[in-house]
Structure 1
Amino acid sequence: MALEKDERQALKEELVELKQILVNEPKMMLLLTSKQISRVDKQKFIKTLGDSASETLKNLLDMLFDYDRIGDLDVIIDEYIRLNDEYEKTVKAVVTTAIPLESEQKAKLADSFARIVGANKVVLEEKVDSDIIGGVILRSNNYIYDGSLKLRFAQIKRMLLK
């Protein structure tokens, strides 16, 4: 529906913001799912949540509440973001190196990885792990590339032990 209304990106931004609120205020989900709080009070809270939201997000919150699925809101947000990334051909990957990458190196790595996996954009999350000694390990949902020296040394060790 967001795609049909040309609100896909705006809705994603709203959902990311809402998810951040849910992470920062975990008691909010407790309020929305608690059996001790009346349905009327929950509905008022959802209306307050939706006051500054788009019509699409208001409708989503109302629908989830009406069908008693509001407890799944964080999972639904994650799935929307995943589907939006898939639509935009955006891949999220974790890059592990022995030392921190410079921004230019990170950009080149993202561009190369995008060509390999056929993505328009790669968003890299950087991890530093001195145990890999050198090289790089890239992990995304469907792809793992291990170019670490640790792996190479292990392969040489196995060959020598044969």
Structure 2
Amino acid sequence: MSSRAAIRYAKAILEQASEKGTAEVVFGNMKSIEATLNASKELRNVLKSPIIKSDDKRASLLAIFSGYDLSTTSLIELLVDKKRTAILGDVASSYVDLYNKSKGIVVAHLTTAVELDASLEAKVLVKVKEITDGKDVTLEHHIDSNLIGGFILRVGDVQYDATVANQLDKIQKEFSNRL
């Protein structure tokens, strides 16, 4: 869950990028920032650390995210100046959410134990479009090797758990109720 400050920064950047006509480019930048920060615990720790100097954080972030849109680099500069680098990931996540909402895009999160082939992923996307009454849908696929089998599909606030563990749990409860 993003903080109110992160949401405010994200709204401001989205508004600025929309005025410039670069909202889609910044969207790509924010997805990249979000993925980079999610993949690197060390980088998240650097951003949160009060010991590391702001200039070092600025140099690191601008080097890591070089070649990004001016709105994105300005955001990084602003967060460094305001000593709010710890919320960069939340700002990026909030931007992605706000951008998707502004474009009417529904994001479906699919979690499986293994990688899906393209045809199966396409079938899932068709089903999700049916569930959402044909809205524009983006499928984000996550792999969780802890799942024994099956999948978990989350669209907005609705979650469908078709994992083997969930099915076994239902059977156990039903069996216990009958005794």
Residues 16 and 145 (structure 1 numbering): CA distance in 2 closer, same or farther, change over 3 Å? closer
Is the CA contact (8 Å cut-off) linking 1:138 and 1:145 kept in structure 2?
yes
Q: List runs of 5+ in structure 1 lacking aligned partners.
A: none
* 1:139 corresponding residue in structure 2: 154
- Give the RMSD, CA atoms, in angstroms: 3.8
1:82 aligns with 2:92: no
TM-score (norm 1): 0.68
CA–CA distance in 2 between the matches of 1:102 and 1:51?
33
Q: Residues 61 and 104 from structure 1, CA distance in 2 versus in 1: closer, same or farther, beyond 3 angstroms?
A: same
Instruction: Report how many residues are paired.
Output: 158
- Max Rg structure: 1
Q: 1:137 Cα deviation (Å)?
A: 4.9
Q: Deviations over 1:9-47 (max 9, x none)?
A: 211222233334434554444444433344444445455
Q: 1:2 aligns with which of 1, 13, 17?
A: 17
2:71 to 34, 38, 56: 56
Structure 2: distance between partners of 1:55 and 1:79: 19
Match of 2:109 among 77, 85, 93: 93
**TM-score with structure 2 setting the length:** 0.63
Deviation (angstroms), 1:65: 1.7
- Matched residues, percent identical? 19
Whole-Å separation in 2 of the counterparts to 1:51 and 1:5: 20
The one of the two structures with greater contact order (alpha-carbon pairs below 8 A, sep at least 6) is 2
- The answer to whether the aligner puts 1:154 opposite 2:171 as a matched pair is yes
Given the alignment, which residue of 109, 116, 123 partners 2:124?
109
Please list, as runs of the form range in 1=range in 2, the aligned pairs for 1:1-20 lying within 5 A after superposition.
Answer: 1-20=16-35
